Amino acid sequence: MIVNHFKVYGEIGNYIIRMPELSTLGKLPEEKRNFIMNHKYAFVCFKDFDAASKAVNKVSYEKLTNKEYNKELNAIVDALKKQQGMSEENLYRCACFIIENCDNYKADFGNDTKLKEFIKAFEKHMVENDNVYTVKDKSDRMECCQYLIY
């Protein structure tokens, strides 16, 4: 599943998928142990830096099984692409921000003026939060980050 999910972004050099080992968790409370044991970790190394960037800029904002949510997210991204000045790095981040923070965005979505207001709210948030947007609803998602290895 991991390889198929990530190979759409570019050629994968190698990958590692790990499951935590119960013996390494020590004396954590049972609830914490169960949480950790129910998560796998993967390290995916792309042969191309741009492929890794594309994955990082999209994967954390999509949902794994909710196709309707992803369709909505992509529709907002398409609208954002038509606006001037939105970087590739912020497209999915801004779309997720709009879904999670802008009331009635569905009703106002066709209005360019309203979309510009949503973008300004996103930009203000980014300035106030050191260019970080943390997804509020982390259910049904993968977290994805990028490391440059020399």
**Mean pLDDT across 10-26:** 82
Per-residue confidence (pLDDT) for residue 128, from 0 to 100: 96
pLDDT classification of 104: cutoffs 50, 70, 90:
confident
Domain ranges in the chain are: 2-47, 65-128
Q: How many CB atoms lie within 10 A of CB 4?
A: 7
In whole angstroms, give the CA distance from residue 57 to residue 138: 16
Instruction: Give the closest residue to 7 by CA, choosing from 45, 40, 41.
Output: 45
pLDDT confidence band for 146 (50 / 70 / 90): confident
pLDDT score of 116 more than 70: yes
Residue 21 has pLDDT above 90, yes or no: no
Contact 10, 54 (CB under 8 A): yes
Residue-level pLDDT at 149: 67
Q: Tell me how far apart the alpha carbons of residues 67 and 57 are, in angstroms, rounded to a whole number.
A: 18
- Give the tens place of pLDDT for each residue, 38-88: 777 888 999 999 999 999 999 999 999 999 999 999 999 999 998 878 888
Mean pLDDT along residues 88-108:
88
pTM, 2 dp: 0.81
With bands split at pLDDT 50, 70 and 90, how would you rate the model's confidence at 124? very high
The DSSP H or E segment spanning 51 is: helix 49-59
